[in-house]
């Protein structure tokens, strides 16, 4: 059985703790590798090495750092298929979905190739009598990224590319369920010219997380995962004087107005709800049609589309729509929530429980599930299911649909499908959600904007990637300067004035 490693000082290093956890194949339920779990002592030593490496890296000019990103981006492109295979093997998502995972991370790397322009400060001459003012952006030092299982390439790249481009060293702790992609990306960064020790990839559990949060050398922490853990990391990081941007759960609504193109809305819902087995923080999990006729028309279109979905292992090829969920515990939880929906009175239109595939009987597969007549007091509405389950909540009018979205405790993403520009404009202006789609189901901003939710979906003032990332991973220093002139009236230079 394969034994994975940490990646420290530019090379693979075996763990010394003697503690391991299993990396599963979610399609078969079999253990495919073991990954070491680091101790606090290991972490403190690795962080110290990163701090040593950061000094020279931080002093490297931004253009040379950008060249490393250029080479890194080229290497990601060259190794796209291999990286996608690593993602699929440990996560279970289909190869096309895995390629998309890598591609969306690569787009952030591409933006970071322009880091010198983002790191420019400001200047004002003669801000006062003979006084010039200027500001500069400087690296924080050593920062950390704690990333989730559901995007093993994209989110580590969202963290590491801006942090490194700004001149920081980074400690990356990937999910112990899907560690191999981050280890391979670290290899590619070394090949691209990143000095040893500037990126350290360390596998671990809560002990490693707490070591990151309590170590005085770490200046900032970025996290993506569940809301309870996001709150925990944000609170502990802030208590210890660190910057933190922590992104949590979601319950994303899509409003479908009566004038919407129902076929396009149905296609959008199926893709956004069931892609990647619903294990996306930007998945649409709640459809909110306005009016009974709209709701009936939408269900009528959803059923045949859902029935055509093909579920299977990524090895079955591009014909598969989505694969298994990540663990057996996830499957059990999702099926338990489906059962609670039935018990609490929702209409189960399509049931995905008990799915078993020939030859993959022990895999963690959940069939596509559709509920109608869901109400806001049901568990399937209140909880983030994080699985292939779409719920429909019927609203009688636009204001009711908008209120439903705004009253939800999460505020990651939302969407509206309509042909009415006034309604769309009103929705975008009033809704208290961080990312909004208009006739667009998964409104993840392009890499030169910034990604971030509101309410219990995000903790911290700055978002991921884009301009906010460069603000998050740097600190601003402002200089006020006055030089006393040695020039007399008439142009004669007075050397004594310079003494």
Q: Give dist(CA 142, CA 423) in Å, integer.
A: 46
Alpha carbon of 492 to those of 131, 260, 382, 482, 499: distances in Å?
A: 22, 78, 79, 21, 16
Cα–Cα nearest to 64, from 204, 194, 226, 203: 194
Q: Give dist(CA 439, CA 112) in Å, integer.
A: 29
215: left (phi over 0), alpha (psi -120 to 50) or beta: beta
- Choosing from 112, 178, 246, 281, which is the catalytic residue? 281
How many helices (H) and strands (E) the chain has is answered by 16, 23
Cβ contact 364:330 at 8 Å: yes
Alpha carbon of 123 to those of 120, 131, 132, 198, 477: distances in Å?
A: 10, 11, 8, 31, 12
Please confirm, yes or no, whether 112 is among the known catalytic residues. no
Q: Give dist(CA 176, CA 35) in Å, integer.
A: 7
Cβ contact 477:496 at 8 Å: no
Longest dimension (CA), the chain: 96
Q: Give dist(CA 352, CA 155) in Å, integer.
A: 29
Cβ contact 90:178 at 8 Å: yes
What lies within 8 Å, CB to CB, of 332 at 6+ separation is none
Alpha carbon of 389 to those of 22, 61, 326, 380, 472: distances in Å?
A: 27, 49, 15, 9, 35
Cβ contact 83:153 at 8 Å: yes
Q: Give dist(CA 143, CA 2) in Å, integer.
A: 30
Q: Which residues are catalytic?
A: 281
């Amino acid at each position: 059985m394969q034994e994975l490693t940490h990646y420290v000082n530019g090379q693979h290093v075996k763990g010394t703790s003697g503690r391991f956890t299993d990396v599963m194949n979610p399609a078969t339920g079999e253990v495919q590798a073991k990954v070491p779990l680091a101790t606090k002592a290991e972490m403190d030593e690795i962080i110290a090495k990163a701090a040593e490496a950061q000094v020279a890296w931080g002093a490297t000019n931004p253009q040379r750092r950008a060249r490393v990103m250029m080479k890194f981006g080229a290497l990601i492109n060259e190794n796209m298929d291999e990286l996608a295979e690593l993602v699929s093997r440990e996560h279970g998502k289909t190869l096309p979905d895995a390629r998309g995972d890598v591609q969306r991370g690569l787009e952030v790397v591409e933006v970071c190739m322009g880091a010198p322009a983002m790191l420019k400060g400001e200047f004002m001459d003669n801000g006062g009598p003979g006084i010039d003012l200027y500001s500069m952006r400087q690296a924080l030092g050593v920062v950390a990224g704690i990333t989730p299982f559901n995007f093993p390439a994209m989110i580590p790249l969202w963290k590491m590319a801006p942090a490194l481009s700004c001149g920081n060293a980074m400690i990356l702790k990937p999910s112990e369920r899907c560690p191999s992609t981050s280890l391979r990306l670290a290899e590619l960064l070394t090949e691209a010219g990143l000095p040893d020790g500037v990126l350290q990839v360390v596998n671990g559990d809560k002990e490693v997380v707490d070591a990151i949060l309590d170590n005085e050398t770490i200046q900032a922490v970025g996290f993506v995962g569940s809301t309870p853990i996001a709150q925990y990391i944000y609170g502990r990081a802030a208590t210890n004087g660190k910057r933190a941007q922590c992104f949590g759960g979601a319950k994303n609504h899509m409003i479908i107005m009566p004038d919407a193109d129902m076929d396009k809305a149905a296609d959008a819902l199926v893709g956004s709800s069931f892609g990647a087995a619903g294990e996306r923080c930007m998945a649409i999990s709640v459809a909110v049609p306005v009016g009974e006729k709209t709701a009936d028309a939408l269900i009528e279109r959803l059923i045949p589309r859902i029935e055509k979905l093909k579920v299977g292992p990524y090895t079955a090829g591009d014909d598969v729509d989505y694969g298994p969920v990540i663990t057996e515990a996830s499957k059990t939880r999702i099926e338990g929530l489906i059962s609670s929906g039935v018990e609490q009175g929702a209409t189960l239109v399509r049931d995905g429980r008990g799915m078993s595939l020939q030859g993959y009987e022990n895999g963690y597969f959940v069939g596509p599930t559709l509920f109608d007549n869901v109400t806001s007091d049901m568990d399937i509405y209140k909880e983030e299911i994080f699985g292939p389950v779409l719920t429909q909540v019927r609203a009688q009018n636009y204001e009711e649909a908008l209120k439903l979205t705004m009253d939800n405790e999460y505020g990651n993403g939302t969407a509206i499908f309509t042909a009415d520009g006034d309604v769309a404009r009103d929705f975008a202006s009033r809704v208290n959600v961080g990312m909004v789609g208009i006739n667009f189901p998964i409104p993840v901003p392009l890499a030169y904007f910034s990604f971030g939710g509101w309410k219990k979906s995000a903790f911290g003032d700055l978002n991921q990637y884009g301009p906010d990332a460069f603000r998050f991973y740097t600190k601003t220093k402002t200089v006020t300067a006055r030089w006393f002139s040695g020039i007399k009236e008439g142009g004669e230079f007075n050397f004594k004035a310079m003494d």
